[in-house]
C-alpha cells in the first residue's frame, strides 16, 4: 500500500508513520529524516538543505523530488511505503504521480492528520530530539526515562533548531501557503482521509487502520 501522510509540522505524522510502517510492514520514508542524515554526514545535499531547514523554509523542489524518486526505486519499496513529509508542494505531488503513472501505479490514500495551530505550537515547544541517533521525545507525552537523556543511545537531548518557537511560526506559514493545498489536491482525486490529530496517539492509529485496512 502506498500512503502519503499530510498534516502541519508537529501534527504527529512521524509517530503515526512509524506505527503504520510496522503494521503494514512497509518502509517509513521521511524526507526530513533523509535531510537530517545528510546534514549529519556533511554531504553536498545536507549542506544545501540545512540552509533552508534552519530558516523554516522548504528545501527546493528540484533537490527534494530527485531525492525521493531515487529512494522509491529501492527494493524495499516494492510492496508500498508510507511517505512522511513528502509531498509538501503541488509540484512534488504531481512529480510523484507522474513517476508512479509510468509504472501504472498510484498513491492509494492520503491521510490528513488535522490539528489546529495553537495545539501545534504547544506541542512543538515540548519536543526533544537526539541528534546522535534521531530518536524523538516529548517532555509531556513521550518523556525519556532520564530527563534530557536519550533512552536509545544515552546522548543529550536538544530542542531542534527547527522546533524553536520562531521557526515553528515560520514553518506553519510555509505549511499554509505551500502544503495545505495538497489536502484539496488529494480530495479531488478521491484519496483523502482525515483523522482528528488532537486525540491520543493510539486512538489516531486505530482510526488510520480502520480507514486503510480495506485498501490492503
Active-site residue list:
13, 88, 127, 160, 171
Stretch that binds ligand AMP, among 29-37, 144-152, 180-188, 191-199 (CB under 6 A): 29-37
Asked if residue 64 binds ligand AMP (CB under 6 A), the reply is: yes
**Which cell numbers hold the place of 178?**
505551500
Give buried/exposed letters for 159-198 (b at 16+ CB in 10 A, else e): ebebbeeebbebbbebbeebbeebbebbeeeebbbbbebe
Cis peptide preceding 8, ω within 30 of 0? no
Among 24, 35, 137, 205, binds ligand AMP (CB under 6 A): 35
Nearer to ligand AMP, 40 or 213 (CB): 40
According to CB under 6 A, which residues from 70 to 99 bind ligand AMP? 85-86, 88, 92
For strand 81-84 and strand 109-114, is the pairing parallel, antiparallel, or unpaired?
unpaired
Phi, psi for 64 (deg, rounded to 5): -70, -40
Among 3, 39, 45, 59, binds ligand AMP (CB under 6 A): 59
Binding residues for ligand AMP, rule: CB under 6 A, are 9, 30-32, 35, 52-53, 57-59, 64, 85-86, 88, 92, 162, 171
Amino acid at each position: 500500500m502506498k500512503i502519503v501522510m499530510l498534516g502541519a509540522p508537529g501534527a504527529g505524522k512521524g509517530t503515526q508513520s512509524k506505527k503504520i510502517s510496522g503494521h503494514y510492514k512497509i518502509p517509513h520514508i521521511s524526507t526530513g529524516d533523509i535531510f537530517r542524515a545528510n546534514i549529519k554526514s556533511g554531504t553536498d545535499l545536507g549542506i544545501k538543505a540545512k540552509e533552508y531547514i534552519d530558516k523554516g523554509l522548504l528545501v527546493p523542489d528540484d533537490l527534494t523530488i530527485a531525492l525521493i524518486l531515487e529512494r522509491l526505486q529501492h527494493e524495499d519499496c516494492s510492496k508500498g511505503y508510507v511517505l512522511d513529509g513528502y509531498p509538501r508542494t503541488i509540484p512534488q505531488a504531481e512529480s510523484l504521480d507522474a513517476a508512479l503513472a509510468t509504472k501504472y501505479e498510484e498513491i492509494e490514500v492520503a491521510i490528513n492528520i488535522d490539528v489546529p495551530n495553537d495545539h501545534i505550537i504547544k506541542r512543538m515547544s515540548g519536543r526533544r530530539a537526539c541528534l546522535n541517533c534521531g530518536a524523538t521525545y516529548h517532555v509531556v507525552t513521550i518523556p525519556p526515562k532520564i530527563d534530557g537523556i536519550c533512552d536509545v543511545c544515552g546522548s543529550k537531548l536538544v530542542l531542534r533548531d527547527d522546533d524553536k518557537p520562531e521557526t515553528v511560526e515560520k514553518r506553519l506559514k510555509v505549511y499554509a501557503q505551500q502544503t495545505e493545498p495538497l489536502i484539496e489536491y488529494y480530495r479531488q482525486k478521491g484519496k483523502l482521509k482525515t483523522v482528528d490529530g488532537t486525540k491520543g496517539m493510539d486512538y489516531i492509529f486505530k482510526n488510520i487502520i480502520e480507514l486503510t485496512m480495506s485498501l490492503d
